[in-house]
Amino acid sequence: MSATTAPTTPPPAVKPAKVETPFRRLVSEFCESKLALFGLIVFIIICLLALFAPWISPQNPYDLAQLDIMDGRLEPGTVGGAGFTYWLGTDDQGRDMLSGILYGLRISLTVGGGSAILACAVGASLGLLAAYAGKRTDTIIMRLVDLQLSFPTILAALMILAFLGKGVFNVVIALVIVEWAYYARTVRGTALVERRREYIEAAQCLALPTHRIIFRHLLPNCMPPIIVIGTMQIARAIALEATLSFLGLGVPITEPSLGLLIANGYEYMLSGKYWISFYPGIALLITIVSINLVGDQLRDVLNPRLKK
């Protein structure tokens, strides 16, 4: 291991590029696992595919003028009426599955990622508040967390969507309500330890405003667990959104996510037309596994207990 962290008389700025910042150390430690690096690369590719879907997909699956109903339910590899090959087959509307998956990825990633970030903001703020304020505020917030965590996620999400109805926005709300408690609990645990440290005391002695102490001093020191949970929760949110959409409670048919694409193929499954459900499922699986691989390694790298 490099021993450059020792604070004994730093050499007079030879190469500023070689300074070991926490971020660089994180990167080099993360890269020690080839599998995690592979997961990260795959995830970046998936994000790029989703981002550039309108430019790389063979057709726009939402543009009805481009669809030919005569091309419906074609097997993978068939050349369609429009002259290009449907590499992953077509669905019942004659929609190219590859294009459908690329556009579906956009919705799955937006809903999953967006809800994870929102849940993180809500949960981490409440967790910090609970730890910093203590007493009654702490009790109330943690009771809510306990209540939330005592119900399985799928059930709570089902309940909320039964009230709110379908829709992308409603799914995001449901996912945030289901997930904030995980962040709140973890952040509170870390923040309780951090707030007894001297730097918080010093900040308090300087009479800094409370919000400044919480967000500028306490929050940055609680980041490692937030990053780990955040990564894992993105994967969970994507899977949950897919499940809800499959049950017909998630995104509307006009904005099909991967889960809805799989649901659409369900009825054709029994007649042996596997590709309508199979390929979107593979895309979903690769996305979730790649995020989990990254999260697993981040947990090992950021866990201070595993440091030597």
Partner 1 sequence: MSVYLLRRLFQAALVMLAMSVIVFIGVFAIGDPVEILISPDADQIERERAIRALGLDLPLWHQYLVFLGNALQGDLGRSFVFNEPALQLILQRAPATLELAFGATFIALLIGIPLGLYAGLKPKSPISSTIMAGSILGFSLPTFWVGLMFIMVFAVQLGWLPSTGRGETAEFLGMRWSFLTRDGLAHIIMPAMNLALFKISLVIRLTRAGVRETMLMDYVKFARAKGLTESRVIYVHVFKNILIPVVTVVGLELGSTIAFSVVTESVFAWPGMGKLIIDSINVLDRPVIVAYLMMIVMMFIIINLVVDLAYSALDPRVRLENK
Single out the residue of 6, 270, 305, 307 in contact with partner 1 (rule: CB under 8 A).
270
Report the nearest approach of partner 1 to the CB of residue 9 (Å).
45
Q: Is 288 in the site for partner 1 (CB under 8 A)?
A: yes
Alpha carbon 278 to its chain's center: 22
Per CB under 8 A, the list member of 11, 16, 165, 220 interacting with partner 1 is: 165
Cβ-based nearer residue to partner 1, 228 or 249 = 249
Here's the x/- map for partner 1, 167-196, by CB under 8 A: it reads as ------------------------------
Angstrom CA distances, 191 to 48, 164, 241, stand at: 35, 34, 30
Task: Using alpha carbons, list the distances in angstroms from residue 199 to 67, 193, 194.
Answer: 63, 12, 9
CA distances from 258 to 21, 98, 107, 139, 245 (A): 39, 11, 8, 40, 8
CB of 45 to partner 1, least distance (A): 18
Distance CA 172, CA 111 (A): 6
Which residues make Cβ contacts (< 8 Å) with residue 195, sequence separation at least 6?
131, 132, 218
* Nearest CB to partner 1, comparing residues 77 and 152: 152
* Residue 163 lies near partner 1 (rule: CB under 8 A): yes
Does 233 bind partner 1 (CB under 8 A)? Our answer is no
* Closer residue to partner 1 in complex, CB, 80/112: 112
| Residue-wise DSSP of 144-161 | HHHHHHTS-HHHHHHHHH
Pick out residues in 234-253 that bind partner 1 (CB under 8 A). 235, 239, 242-243, 246-249
Element (H, E) at 182: helix 168-194
Grouping H, G, I as helix, E, B as strand and the rest as coil, residue 305 is helix
> Which residues contribute to the site for partner 1 (CB under 8 A)?
147, 150-152, 154-155, 158-165, 235, 239, 242-243, 246-249, 259, 262, 265-266, 269-272, 274, 277-278, 281, 284-285, 288-289, 292, 296
